[in-house]
Amino acid sequence: KKLKPAEPGRNLNIFRKMLADGKTPDERQKFYYARELFDNGLYDAAVTAYTEFLNGDGWVENKICACRDLSACYRAKNMPKEALAALFKSFEFDSPRAETCCDLGFFYMQHAQYERAVFWYKLALNLKPDHTSGAFIYGDCYGFIPAIQLCVCYDKLGNSDAAEECNRRAGLLKP
């Protein structure tokens, strides 16, 4: 249990000092440095750091996560084309994860491309998490989120029967 609140930017400052001291971060440190930049709203620097990390020999699960975070950086910078490309880049490293599929579905929903969103949410709904991979798994991406988002998409497409079925399914997962 923490005794006091964390100092804002503490981890970022640790990384900056390490770099200023001329130390070369390993692949995992590069990933976490990029995440600290992202978490602190330093999107330009985060894009650079994520891109460098993705060009290295990092762990596959970190690379997939980096693609999702890189996409979020581009969304924050209002660069939708680059945000979409970053999500698709994750497929270079391994088969699709439901988390990425949900991100793609959300992207297409934001752009009122509901048929495309349906494709990605249906794929997410049919994927199974690999609990042996060591990756951070967001369980809701494998059930509730795609179901409830499909409900919205089908409603927008005028398919109330499919929307109702997806809402029922989401309700079974989270009553």
Q: Is the pLDDT score of 25 beyond 90?
A: no
Is pLDDT at 74 greater than 80 in this prediction? Answer: yes
pTM: 0.90
- Model confidence over 53-70: pLDDT tens digits? 999 999 999 999 999 999
- Of the pLDDT bands very low, low, confident and very high (cuts 50, 70, 90), residue 46 is very high
Residue of 65, 6, 67 lying closest to 40 (CA atoms): 6
The per-residue pLDDT for 2 is 64
Q: Residue 74: which residues within 8 A CB-CB, separation 6 or more?
A: 47, 80, 82, 83, 86
| Per-residue model confidence (pLDDT) at position 24 | 85
Give the span between the Cα atoms of 15 and 35, in whole angstroms.
11
Compute the distance between CA of residue 74 and CA of residue 138 in angstroms, rounded to an integer.
22
**What is the pLDDT, as a whole number, of residue 3?**
74
Contact 37, 11 (CB under 8 A): no
